[in-house]
Amino acid sequence: MATLELELPRLCGQLLVTGFEGTELTPTFEKALRDGLRGGAILFRRNLPDIATASRLCEAIRSASPADLPPFIGVDQEGGRVTRMPAPFLTLPPMRELGRLNDLDLVRRAARAVATELAAVGFNLNFAPVLDVDSNPANPIIGDRSFGRDPRTVMRNAVAFLQGLQDKNVLACGKHFPGHGDTSVDSHFDLPVIHHDRARLEQIEIPPFRAASGAGIASFMTAHVVCEALDPGVPATLSRAICASLLRAEIGFEGVLFSDDLEMAAVAARYPIEESAVEAIWAGCDALLVCKSEELASRAHAALVQKAEKDSKFRDRCVEAATRCLKIRRLCPPRPITSPIALGEIVGGAPGKAILAEITAAIAARKQAMS
């Protein structure tokens, strides 16, 4: 197994997908990639002022990574209010609007169009679709990011969306396991608690994740939420009962499990990064997101290495996690188009404009029919 040949710093480094400030690859981040101490990058609007910069940055990340360790290059390009890519990149309406159309072929084609543009820029991972069921109107963070208020609508549309992404060689990441839809607290700022019993979770929250797993989704992302019926007091990201027992053993998911950003206050206000990084890997996460601070990412890496040096079982868990990550990264490496002319024909091109026009017309027709 290739990962067994990695020295501990590189082995643990492959479990970290991290962010940085600015529109250029920082010297420290570039060195971490070249040394095999990072498994890839997550980019945000702050990094992506225009398509040309986005393309150069993705190529810099790809070329800095060792040939046998192709990186994840990920972005949150859901549609609606959670979009990171600059114009003229295709931006879809909120997923709630797509879910209301009840047109799975259109949803799949829309996701293909998004993935075609993402892949051309150099991304191989989209942190989408949202699999949360929008069952709480007071939810401050999910809302119209969800395909709908019933699990069947979310299941059907999310599967179509993830298939569309993966049709065009962009890895999908369903979020936020085991469900963030019925919360009244934003986990960026505090730790939400879900009090529903297991029967309710199996009826509403969990079915979209089962469906996505069965449809071959490449990855999931955890939720920084406490599910009292599953593991009282423990955030899902750090819960072996949720990540290992429920997701792996019961649902049978075999892909990569990302943590949500370990810098979010739901976790960061309660656990130092050294503790949350180790506990998330122990729980069953395979890749850890540290979305902004390079210093925190380095501290997380040092903690993983230190734990793996002392504990052979933890090292084995790191090997398992890195093996999963490298499997899909090698199957789907980033392939940015470096020609500005060729890139310009794809990003903001006629196919994307046509699918957006079709969606816009369908939404207008639906609203007219209901008026």
Just list the catalytic residues.
188, 260
Question: Tokens representing 98?
Answer: 């797509």
Q: Which residues does 177 contact at the CB level (< 8 Å), separation at least 6?
A: 131, 209, 220, 221, 222, 223, 236, 242, 243, 247, 257
**Residue 139 and residue 96 in contact, taking contact as beta carbons nearer than 8 Å:** no
Burial 62-82 (b: 16+ CB within 10 A, else e): bebbeeebbbbbbbbbbbbeb
**Residue 175 and residue 131 in contact, taking contact as beta carbons nearer than 8 Å:** yes
What residues form DSSP beta bridges with 79? 82
CA-based nearest residue to 294, from 44, 20, 35, 30? 20
**Residue 225 and residue 263 in contact, taking contact as beta carbons nearer than 8 Å:** no
Q: Which residues does 103 contact at the CB level (< 8 Å), separation at least 6?
A: 362
Q: Is 102 left (phi over 0), alpha (psi -120 to 50) or beta?
A: left
CB neighbours (10 Å) of residue 27? 8
d(CA 123, CA 333): 9
- With tokens 């990171």, the residue in question is 84
Question: Tokens representing 223?
Answer: 């939720």
- With tokens 């942190």, the residue in question is 127
Helix (H) or strand (E) holding 34: helix 27-34
CA-based nearest residue to 124, from 47, 182, 183, 70? 70
**Residue 282 and residue 240 in contact, taking contact as beta carbons nearer than 8 Å:** yes
